[in-house]
Amino acid sequence: MHFPLKSLALVSALACASLAQAADIKFGVAAALSGGAAQYGVAIRNGFQLAADEINAKGGINGNKVQLVIEDEQGKKEEAINVVKKLVFQDKVLMIFGPTLSNSMFAGGPVANGAKTVIFGTSNTANGITDIGPYVFRNSVMESDVLPVTVGTAVKYYKLKKVAVMYGNDDAFTKSGYSVFKTVLEDLKLPVTTTETYVKGDVDFKAQLTKIKASAPDAVICSCLAEEAANIMTQARGLGIKAPFIGGNGFNSPKLFEVSKLAGEGTFVGSPWSNTNPAPVNKAFVAQYVKKYNAEPNQFSAQAYDALYIAAAALKDVKLSGDLNADRETLKNALPKVAISGATGPFKFRAVKAKDGKVGGWDADQKPFIYIVKGGKFTLYDGK
């Protein structure tokens, strides 16, 4: 059977149109799925996958299915650069979520920004991330927004008069957290008895803790990732230090209690998410996460979950052309207009002006929840 050329052209055009309508929207996910930061990265991947499954089950975004291209950046700066390059130039994703750690974002973020591709942090809280450029977004609330509330709450609760400080001095996240803590303590006029440091990979903190014990603080402020924090708290109790801890965003991991058990009792920590938030969207998120993964979600899975819904909301009212560069620009321009109520609560962006005067990216505009550790668990602080 023979078809006229015009008919063949029509059939071909209709087929192409059909394929275009049913196209996948590719989102890159750069997460630390191995190495020390996997405690955060695996939860992040799970949050994205849950959101993608839900969105696709409801018909996708304007009829297009979400496809996640997930890469392990191992929590390493050089690997983050390689993964971002792969996702941008080889996989040709519309945008990238991640990397997991602030160090990795400082490395990989400029690559995506230079390629005019949105890179969206869901767990980066160090100051300066969004100074990288206008294609850098995050829905992770900065330490500078969370720590003043956390410290202020702990000061009132424990009636603190003096504190000791400990932080990792070779990591962008922990150094940024220390800088914020230092400013907060100066603003509160709260004396610091001693400031101790360590480097990534340290497991013995007894020398620093011995100095802290000798200074007799009312509390120990720690800008640390969860594994180091757990070891520090365990060793502190072994040395007879009874002072409570005040932690930054790195404390927000179940790893804290796997290692420290009850050593962290009384710790104050801030978070943009609460598992007990009664909002229907959060209750549904927690239930579906437990059903899918047989594990409790955490802050990082919640932020990843919300991040995909933020991107979906941005794309809902725009038309993708099929020209990747144009579509990346369209998404970048649509994201700042999004305001949603997600698992982490009401969310919107706020613009950032970079320190060098250039146009910056977009930070989270969101209020934190405050937790106190009771019975080896994060418990929402109710002010009592």
* pLDDT for residue 277: 84
Q: Calculate mean pLDDT across residues 42-57.
A: 98
* pLDDT for residue 196: 98
How high does pLDDT run on average in the chain?
92
Burial label for 347, CB within 10 Å (0-12, 13-18, 19+), is buried
Strand 65-72 and strand 369-374: the pairing is unpaired
* pLDDT for residue 20: 42
Dist CA 106 CA 104 (whole Å): 5
Place of tokens 């955490």: 298
**20 and 28 Cβ atoms separated by less than 8 Å:** no
Band of the pLDDT at 118, cuts 50, 70, 90? very high
Strand partners, 222: 166, 247
Please determine, for residue 19, whether its predicted confidence score (pLDDT) is greater than 50: no
Angle subtended at Cα 125 by Cα 121 and Cα 128, rounded to the nearest 5 degrees: 90
pLDDT tens sequence across 232-288: 999 999 999 999 999 988 888 777 888 888 999 999 999 889 887 889 999 999 999
Please determine, for residue 170, whether its predicted confidence score (pLDDT) is greater than 60: yes
* pLDDT for residue 51: 98
Please determine, for residue 93, whether its predicted confidence score (pLDDT) is greater than 90: yes
144-271 is a CATH 3.40.50.620 domain? no
Q: In residues, how long is the chain?
A: 384
* pLDDT for residue 18: 41
**362 and 349 Cβ atoms separated by less than 8 Å:** yes
Q: Is 209 helix (H, G, I), strand (E, B) or coil?
A: helix
**81 and 39 Cβ atoms separated by less than 8 Å:** no
* pLDDT for residue 274: 85
**Of 172-176, 307-311, 331-335, which range is least confident?**
172-176
State in words which class domain 5-141+277-367 has.
Answer: alpha beta
Nearest by Cα to 351 from 133, 164, 150, 160: 133
Highest mean pLDDT among 81-95, 138-152, 266-280, 356-370: 81-95
The predicted model scores a pTM of 0.82
* pLDDT for residue 22: 55
Q: Calculate mean pLDDT across residues 48-54.
A: 98
* pLDDT for residue 272: 87
Strand 219-223 and strand 245-247: the pairing is parallel
Residue range(s) in the chain whose domain bears CATH number 3.40.50.2300: 5-141+277-367, 144-271
384 against 149, higher pLDDT: 149
Strand partners, 347: 340
Dist CA 339 CA 173 (whole Å): 27
Dist CA 318 CA 296 (whole Å): 35
Band of the pLDDT at 150, cuts 50, 70, 90? very high
Please determine, for residue 4, whether its predicted confidence score (pLDDT) is greater than 70: no
* pLDDT for residue 11: 43
At 287, give phi and psi (nearest 5°): -65, -45
% of the chain with per-residue pLDDT over 70: 94
Q: Calculate mean pLDDT across residues 71-79.
A: 97
Band of the pLDDT at 14, cuts 50, 70, 90? very low
* pLDDT for residue 12: 45
How do the residues of the chain divide into helix, strand and coil, expressed in percent and rounded to 5?
45, 20, 30
